[in-house]
Structure 1
Amino acid sequence: MDTTLQTTDSEALTSDASTDPIGTSAAQGRSAVLEELILQDPGQFRVLTGDRPTGRLHLGHYFGTLHNRMRLQNLGVETFVIIADYQVLTDRDIADNLTEYVEELVLDYLAIGVDPARSTIFTHSAVPALNQLMLPFLSLVSVSELNRNPTVKDEIAHSRQSAVSGLMFTYPVHQAADILFCKANLVPVGQDQLPHLEITRTVARRFNERYGNGTPVFPRPDALLSNAPLLLGMDGTKMSKSRGNAITLAADADETARLIKGAKTDSERFITYDPVTRPEVSSLLLLTALCQNRAPEQIAAEIGSAGAAALKRTVTEAVNEFLAPIRARRTELAQDRTHLRRVLREGNERANAVADATLAEVRTAMNSHY
């Protein structure tokens, strides 16, 4: 895989720290360039993406990340999809039901069209060599650097744990191992994940400088920022599995109708698309627009003075029509749990082969073959 397109750290992920401390503007500019390069030659890229198995995926996930993964896969970009089961061990409720959550995640992936022949689906816990990379990587990052990571701070702040575990604190380095084990050079992320990726790039650079002997062992992966829309939950707050305000991909038509019927709107009868002053109404319009591949302003104009009830009927019809084939496929797949385990087993085998080769290369570079 050609990795010569990689930029320097400063080119891709830094900018004026006073106005853009995590390099968002620079990453957005780089993403536009990357999109052109992907269209020209998708074969020069390898993507690492994935999710923590904390429950069924919802429409926010679909339009925020899943749709983009499918686009890259279908363009011909080699894709690795990690189910980060080790990274939910800090939550006892989830850890006690890991098998169920992992299988539900695989179901969601396959139902939306992730193709195991083109995308490698695998779990953290099944790839020992990947996790072994974390030890040398930790030696390349200081405690103060981890402590400054804003994403870690946010996760710790919102954690339900009484104390911060070492696993949570070192999460960015574990993520570096996730990305670098397969030498991914492209990582689709949201803006809030840029600090994590910056640590990955730092780890790759420091490893190459310390052990590479002039020949880089790891690429420094680029962030691919998407223009993912922000969809609010049905209660008007951030869409989240834990808040119970999201429409999951597995929800049936009746449950979807019930959730949308209870969605928060406002007292103004005339429907307009105005995300700043009417965020709840605008989020429902945007959801409809995404499902129908139309402009939210057009949908608002069609509803006009018919009010919130008409808006909710329109949203319900659009969402149920959009999800119908995904739900049908998911129901069919759920009947054969053996197939789900086979998909994981084969993905784990492919991931292990890649990880073993990378770890062997790391050992050679570190002169630690005994």
Structure 2
Amino acid sequence: MTTIQLDSTPHDDAQKNDATFRRAEMRSAGLESEIVRCPAAHRVLTGDRPTGDLHLGHLLGTLANRVRLQRLGVPMTLVIADYQVITDRDHAGPLRNRVRTLVADYLAAGVDPDRTTIFPHSAVPALNQLMLPFLSLVTDAELRRNPTVKAETQAAGRPLGGLLLTYPVHQAADILFCGGTLVPVGRDQLPHLELTRAIARRFNERYGPLFDLPDALLSPVPLLLGTDGEKMSKSRGNAIALGADETSTARLIRSAKTDWLRQITFEPDARPEVASLLQIIASLSGRSPVDVAAEIGDAGSGALKALAVDVVNDSLRPLRARRRELLADPGYLDGVLLAGIAEANATANDTLHRVRSAMGMDYLS
């Protein structure tokens, strides 16, 4: 097994992360052509924590890309990471309702349950049993160096919980159990995927070839800001929820932070709040943010926000109508989950059997 380097400096980590990103960027560009040529040769694994309603950032950043990949013919597994809700909080909240709502958001955005497996993490016991051998392949230092673990630990302001510490290994189990080959991620999630690749590689070296090493499929959508100028987030209350009504949407957009310059220009570094609104309009209308800015010209932020209100509400109107229909039929949503749970359990049981066989632990065979 490869020797694991335990000590590193922040400078070393930054250099390593930059190099990892450059490799992933090059590989991701090549993967897009591979997907078009042979979509069935890949499997996408992705998902969300059910901590609240999905918002416009999710639609433009992840949901639209999932629907695109599905339409290309790529098999897809969506895991609802309910166990991960309690990694950084004491209470899970109204979890059952949030899971149903998440499924409704997926389907309203265009995810097809006949072509995509949707299931909650906690309903697949074999998936969680994969955690034990996977944990034996990583070090405490590697887990603590993970940027998400670091950030969430600092934000929590309390001692590190064991579930949070093993959060990246949970994700590795999610990806590897179903043979995931593609994981759509942003740059901040690359360290998670690198650890998954390390776990797969170390398992193969120790017990024999069983797992493919998954690749990152980098999201092309830039960071979208919330109405307060900070990162759009469910927890900050600065996002436009997919299920919000049109009046609330208009009020939120009109309250969005911009700047005092009257001429509207697309300058992401110098004018991030204005650029974010332009990017939202452009993404939903299939235009360039530079062209949108030129159209508004010197009409000011009032005209920018008015256009954003019209485009967002017009674009989300069919999704919101479908979402209401789905939420009115919880039995259908539960049926989608039950079908996904059955399929995920069959896959996870098979993977766990193969893992045990490779490790010499197949006592019931």
8 Å contact kept, 1:54–1:94: no
Partner of 2:148: 151
Partner of 1:232: 225
Q: 1:155, CA displacement in angstroms?
A: 2.2
Partner of 1:324: 317
Note the 1:146-295 alignment, pairs <5 A.
Answer: 146-159=143-156, 162-212=158-208, 216-295=209-288
Counterpart-to-counterpart distance in 2, 1:173 and 1:271: 45
Q: 1:132, CA displacement in angstroms?
A: 0.3
Counterpart-to-counterpart distance in 2, 1:102 and 1:241: 15
Q: TM-score, normalised by structure 2?
A: 0.93
Q: 1:32, CA displacement in angstroms?
A: 0.8
Change (3 A) 1:302 1:93: farther
Partner of 2:7: none
| Matched position secondary structure for 1:95 | coil
8 Å contact kept, 1:34–1:224: yes
| Matched position secondary structure for 1:236 | coil
| Matched position secondary structure for 2:352 | helix
Between 229-238 and 147-156, report the one with greater CA deviation. 147-156
8 Å contact kept, 2:88–2:152: no
Q: 1:110 aligns with which of 107, 110, 113?
A: 107
Counterpart-to-counterpart distance in 1, 2:187 and 2:327: 34
Q: TM-score, normalised by structure 1?
A: 0.92
8 Å contact kept, 1:58–1:246: yes
| Matched position secondary structure for 1:48 | strand
8 Å contact kept, 1:264–1:280: yes
Q: 1:291, CA displacement in angstroms?
A: 1.1
8 Å contact kept, 1:288–1:296: yes
Counterpart-to-counterpart distance in 1, 2:215 and 2:89: 34
Q: 1:18, CA displacement in angstroms?
A: 3.1
Counterpart-to-counterpart distance in 1, 2:352 and 2:306: 54
Please tell me the root mean square deviation across aligned C-alpha atoms, in Å.
Answer: 1.5
Paired residues, number: 352
What amino acid sits opposite 2:122 in the alignment? S
Structure 1 gaps, min length 5: 1-14
Partner of 2:77: 80
Note the 1:38-53 alignment, pairs <5 A.
Answer: 38-53=35-50
8 Å contact kept, 1:54–1:88: yes
Note the 1:133-152 alignment, pairs <5 A.
Answer: 133-152=130-149
Deviations 1:134-182 (A, max 9, x none): 00100111111112222221222223x5221100001111111000111
Note the 1:331-370 alignment, pairs <5 A.
Answer: 331-370=324-363
Partner of 1:8: none
Counterpart-to-counterpart distance in 2, 1:90 and 1:349: 26
Are 1:123 and 2:117 matched, yes or no?
no
What amino acid sits opposite 2:97 in the alignment? E
8 Å contact kept, 2:88–2:164: no
Counterpart-to-counterpart distance in 1, 2:137 and 2:144: 14
Structure 2 gaps, min length 5: 1-11
